[in-house]
Amino acid sequence: MTARIIDGKAVAAVVLDKVRLASAAFKDKTGRPPGLAVVLVGEDPASQVYVRNKGREAEAAGFRSEQHTLPVSVSEAEVLALVGKLNADPGIDGILVQLPLPKGIDTERVLLAIDPAKDVDGFHPINVGLLNAGAADKALVPCTPAGSMILLESVTGSSLAGKHAVVVGRSNIVGKPVAQLLLQRDATVTIAHSKTANLAEICRTADVLVAAVGRPEMIRGSWVKPGAVVIDVGVNRIPAPERGEGKTRLVGDVATAEAMDVASAITPVPGGVGPMTIALLMANTVTAASLREGLPRPV
């Protein structure tokens, strides 16, 4: 069997088309565009690239887009003051504080300070609680897990009743929320992590295998059940001397070439979950804007 490659770029483009339409409709109804503010503290080069891309995508979606860059030396109080100002700004619907924050700034305190109605990353305990209480329709759901589910559903349809889903990884950002979303689709869910025994055996029982580990190609083809759908969230940069001295390339947490011989469908890295994350951030922004204005969820 050769697995179908799930094209994250194509699915993300469909999501972004819907966001653009929803954004225009929102502006027609309210007289203003949805507003997204991204806060970057420090000069981490990867974060700078992410923030730039988010700004570009927000503009393409017709949003009011703001970027606030603070020096690495900034105090926690100053970051909190900026979050407070953005909370109070009626034209801002989404606030994203780019992580990681520099040492000395308490990430939890900053995330807690964001108005849950503007928490487009879905990391505030209110949104986490709503998701875990089975009320994802009232929550802002973290972007990578929500995007992973759309890719999965493009293959399986919306019901996972009777299916066993194994999620490898239990972070608050990916593993746990994706497990909750799978549960809400009626899958039987196993969450595995670094202390799990017999990981390969457990993975071999998965009809749906979600890898969110951060270890390059850790999940081998022999761990994949024939016919499984594999969602590879991992993004790992590894040396690629075959491309020239000092060159690198991106790989996932799954050994894709091996898994392709066994799985029925698989997300590639790059070009799978990655493009979905930013598309879902835009979707969350227009959703937050609509909910704040008392309008129905648009996407």
Q: Indicate the annotated binding residues for NADP(+).
A: 169-171, 235
Report CA-CA distances (Å) from 100 to 66, 117, 141, 145: 19, 22, 19, 19
Q: How many CB atoms lie within 10 A of CB 107?
A: 14
Tell whether residue 168 is a contact of ligand NDP (CB under 6 A).
yes
Closest distance to ligand NDP from the beta carbon of 270 (Å) = 9
Q: Could you give the CA distance from residue 117 to residue 138 in angstroms, rounded to a whole number? A: 10
Give the C-alpha separation, 59 to 66, whole Å.
Answer: 10
Asked if residue 215 binds ligand NDP (CB under 6 A), the reply is yes
* 28 included as an active-site residue: no
Q: State the residue number with the nearest CB to ligand NDP.
A: 171
Nearer to ligand NDP, 92 or 173 (CB): 173
> Which of 15, 38, 199, 279 touches ligand NDP (CB under 6 A)?
199
Under rule CB under 6 A, residue 198 binds ligand NDP: no
Could you say whether residue 42 binds ligand NDP (CB under 6 A)?
Answer: no
Q: Which is nearer to ligand NDP, 54 or 64 (CB)?
A: 54
In whole angstroms, give the CA distance from residue 266 to residue 264. 7
Would you give the DSSP letter of residue 45? Answer: H
User: Which of 22, 212 has the CB closer to ligand NDP?
Assistant: 212
Cβ(30)–Cβ(286) below 8 Å: no
Q: Is 65 helix (H, G, I), strand (E, B) or coil?
A: strand
Annotated catalytic residue 253: no
SS3 state at 190: strand
- Report the C-alpha gap between 152 and 146 in whole angstroms: 10
Q: Which residue, 52, 113, 45, is CA-closest to 278?
A: 52
Q: Under the criterion CB under 6 A, does residue 236 sit at the interface with ligand NDP? A: yes
Q: How many helices (H) and strands (E) in the chain?
A: 10, 11
Near ligand NDP by CB under 6 A: residue from 12, 146, 213, 229: 213
Binding residues: 169-171, 235
Residue 274 interacting with ligand NDP (CB under 6 A): yes
Taking contact as CB under 6 A, which single stretch among the options 22-30, 65-73, 190-198, 290-298 is the one that binds ligand NDP? 190-198
Of the residues 93, 115, 119, 121, only one is catalytic, namely: 121
Q: How far is the CB of 177 from ligand NDP (least distance, A)?
A: 10
For ligand NDP, the closer of residues 92 and 141 by Cβ is 141
**In contact, 5 and 254? CB cutoff 8 Å:** no
Nearest to 281 by CA among 55, 84, 27, 114: 55
Residue 233 interacts with ligand NDP (CB under 6 A): yes or no: yes
**Chosen residue from 52, 85, 109, 193 binding ligand NDP by CB under 6 A:** 193
As annotated, the active-site residues are 54, 98, 121
